[in-house]
Amino acid sequence: MPVSDPVPLVSSLSDIYSPAGVAKSALRWDRLASQFSKAFNQSQPDFIARAPGRVNLIGEHIDYVGFSVFPAAIEKDILMAVKVHRSDDDGHSAAEGELEVVIKNTTPRFEAHTFTSGYLETDQVGLLDQGDQRWANYFKVAFKGLHSHLPAEVLESRSRPTRIEVLVDGTIPPESSLSSSAAMTTCSSIVILQAFGARERIDRTEMAEVAIESERLVGVNSGGMDQSASIFSIPHHALYISFYPKLSVQPTRLPTSQPEHTFVIANTLVVSDKKVTGPVNYNLRVVETRMAARALAKALGIESNRGEETKTLRLVLETFFREKPAALEEEGGAEVLDTLRGYGEEAARLRFMELASDRLLEKGGMTREQVEVATGFRGKDFDQEFLSSFPIRAEKFKLHARSVHVFSEALRVIQFKSLCSEESKGPSTYASLGELMSSSQASLRELYECSCPELDELIQLASDSGAIGSRLTGAGWGGCTVHLVRKSDVPEFLASLRRGYYEKRFPGLREEEINDALFDTEPAGGACVYQV
Ligand code: GLA
């Protein structure tokens, strides 16, 4: 799919939502315009930018390693209503040579924030490390990140903005693993591009790359799945996203079948904030996979073990098979050859690496000293290689388990995609898709250790209530689960989760809160700008 076009301009809600979604959202969009006028001196917004959240169907914790993932955008999204003041159009100009941004939220707990910046550099734009205005950091990092990509003539233009007024309205529950933060960064980037008249000058790939980089400034060493899903999704399709050798996307329809199937999202309501728990959860896992890559390369006898070529598990795989192109046939064994016949070469290479990790990496937790021996990175080199980008805290590192998860999960993504393109699309295809989702969950729970008791409980309940496959979605340690369910079973399935989980654990929840936590979803469209 072409990814070198700009973020699209749309003129109707039906370009964005399903018919049911249009009916639900029309009121919210109208209300946003009137809330904007209340918040900003009776004025009307010039445009509304939109970026959706996503649900990942399969392929967890492998994007930052360089393997492909398979999410879909959801209808829940972030909207930003925006008015742009320019030096030549009214009395709103900030201090000479400065841009002023005022960002407000329709949810009162997110306090309004104003910041100013020079046009030629953004050094004065500092991030907030505490308080109720901290959410504005997402806008700031998007601005700082995008700034160096804006052409000079845009920044120096006489009609550049002097003040940008933004009202944010989000329906993606924060810290619920449906990617509200990436939607915030993405939506902010779109606002900046549109406000500077540069939307058509930066294509979506560049925008996605900048949004991915920018979000790391918030303190999480995340991969690129969330921003890419938000930017490139199209309605009715899941998105197969590849990161190697470069970012590319392939919208893929889920099989049509009789009976029909759909996905249900159920939020554990356990908050999972990657920014806070990064050092012991998310960022630690990223580092463990990097350690595993160096250790596996060494164990496989790759000579260039210390360079870029073995920095991630993906690169270890590429380097190994470049050096030994006949390894699959010569050293693979029956299981690898089976995978080769069933799913092709890429899948067989993954299976090969999964088995090699299982055989060659030390099982159980390893101390720093043991990791130094296994990777060959010692002392200062170890600090530089593994500890210098994001702070982490751990006594032991689990290289074997993380590596086996990564390769087996990457293989499941290929199998999932291959099932979506198969001819036979009856219940057995869906049974196989469901099995892949459930084995993904088992691997996330046992090997990647990013599940939690509430996720396990909800997933068990879903399976007892007729789900064909169930897993956590996103980073884990709380947040949401996703379930594959027969469409005709949805009402009974929702009722069963409501009784068995929400009414038991959260008896005081209002109807609206339950509907926000538990809902069925169809793949939705991606980010766009709506000209008012
Ligand atoms: C978060 C990150 C993504 C991805 C998932 C886990 O959502 O932002 O990049 O790593 O976790 O698959």
Model pLDDT for residues 22-75, shown as the tens digit of each residue:
988 999 999 999 999 999 999 999 999 999 999 999 999 999 999 999 999 999
Tell me the per-residue pLDDT of 279-297, one tens digit each, with 9 for 90 and over: 999 999 999 999 999 999 9
pLDDT at 221: 86
User: What average pLDDT does the segment 156-178 reach?
Assistant: 94
Catalytic residue among 77, 226, 381, 456: 226
With a 6 Å cutoff on the Cβ, whether 434 touches ligand 1 is no
pTM for this predicted structure: 0.95
Parallel, antiparallel, or unpaired: how do β-strands 98-105 and 161-170 relate? parallel
With a 6 Å cutoff on the Cβ, whether 199 touches ligand 1 is no
Atom of ligand 1 nearest to the CA of 69: 12
- Facing residues of 70 across strands? 58
Kindly give, in sequence order, each residue whose CB lies less than 8 Å from that of residue 344, ignoring residues fewer than 6 positions away: 414
SS3 528: strand
With a 6 Å cutoff on the Cβ, whether 474 touches ligand 1 is yes
With a 6 Å cutoff on the Cβ, whether 175 touches ligand 1 is no
User: What average pLDDT does the segment 233-240 reach?
Assistant: 94
With a 6 Å cutoff on the Cβ, whether 320 touches ligand 1 is no
Distance of CA 60 from the midpoint of ligand 1 (Å): 7
pLDDT at 37: 97
pLDDT at 295: 98
Band of the pLDDT at 457, cuts 50, 70, 90? very high
Atom of ligand 1 nearest to the CA of 181: 8
User: What average pLDDT does the segment 228-254 reach?
Assistant: 95
Comparing 232 with 218, the larger pLDDT belongs to 232
Distance of CA 224 from the midpoint of ligand 1 (Å): 8
Distance of CA 449 from the midpoint of ligand 1 (Å): 15
- The mean-pLDDT minimum among 15-29, 167-181, 358-372 falls in 15-29
> Are the C-beta atoms of 278 and 390 separated by less than 8 Å?
yes
With a 6 Å cutoff on the Cβ, whether 486 touches ligand 1 is no
Residue 115 has pLDDT above 80, yes or no: yes
Residue 273 has pLDDT above 90, yes or no: no
> Are the C-beta atoms of 354 and 346 separated by less than 8 Å?
no
pLDDT at 90: 57
- The mean-pLDDT minimum among 64-73, 272-281, 471-480 falls in 272-281
- Facing residues of 262 across strands? 485
Band of the pLDDT at 423, cuts 50, 70, 90? low
With a 6 Å cutoff on the Cβ, whether 64 touches ligand 1 is yes
pLDDT at 142: 95
Tell me the per-residue pLDDT of 366-408, one tens digit each, with 9 for 90 and over: 999 999 999 999 999 999 999 998 999 999 999 999 999 999 9
User: What average pLDDT does the segment 180-206 reach?
Assistant: 95
The DSSP call for residue 498 is I
CA of residue 385 relative to chain centroid, distance:
25
Atom of ligand 1 nearest to the CA of 59: 12
CA distance 78 to 453: 30
Q: In this structure, which amino acid lies at residue 496?
A: S
Tell me the per-residue pLDDT of 484-515, one tens digit each, with 9 for 90 and over: 999 999 999 999 999 999 999 999 999 999 99
With a 6 Å cutoff on the Cβ, whether 476 touches ligand 1 is no
Distance of CA 342 from the midpoint of ligand 1 (Å): 29
Atom of ligand 1 nearest to the CA of 56: 12
User: What average pLDDT does the segment 511-525 reach?
Assistant: 93
pLDDT at 97: 86
Q: Tokens 């020079």 correspond to what residue? A: 118
What is the b/e burial string over 345-384, where b = at least 16 CB atoms within 10 angstroms of the residue's CB?
ebbbbbbbbbbbbeebbeeeebebebbbebbebeeeebee
With a 6 Å cutoff on the Cβ, whether 215 touches ligand 1 is no
Atom of ligand 1 nearest to the CA of 220: 8
Alpha-helical regions (H) of 300-344: 313-323, 327-331, 333-343
pLDDT at 334: 96
Indicate the Cα dihedral angle 58, 62, 68, 73, nearest 10°.
Answer: 50
Token code pair at residue 301: 């006898």
Nearest to 36 by CA among 45, 27, 25: 45
User: What average pLDDT does the segment 313-324 reach?
Assistant: 97
CA distance 469 to 459: 9
With a 6 Å cutoff on the Cβ, whether 294 touches ligand 1 is no
Residue 93 has pLDDT above 90, yes or no: no
Residue among 54, 57, 64 to mutate when testing ligand 1 (max atoms within 8 A of CB): 64
Residue 3 has pLDDT above 90, yes or no: no
Atom of ligand 1 nearest to the CA of 282: 11
pLDDT at 88: 65
Looking at every residue in the chain, the average pLDDT score rounds to 94
> Are the C-beta atoms of 280 and 394 separated by less than 8 Å?
yes
Residue 91 has pLDDT above 60, yes or no: no
Residue ranges of domains in the chain, CATH in brackets: 9-255+524-531 (3.30.230.10)
With a 6 Å cutoff on the Cβ, whether 286 touches ligand 1 is no
Distance of CA 328 from the midpoint of ligand 1 (Å): 30
Residue among 60, 63, 177, 243 to mutate when testing ligand 1 (max atoms within 8 A of CB): 63
Distance of CA 227 from the midpoint of ligand 1 (Å): 10
Let me know if 226 is a catalytic residue.
yes
Comparing 303 with 406, the larger pLDDT belongs to 406
Residue among 74, 209, 222 to mutate when testing ligand 1 (max atoms within 8 A of CB): 222
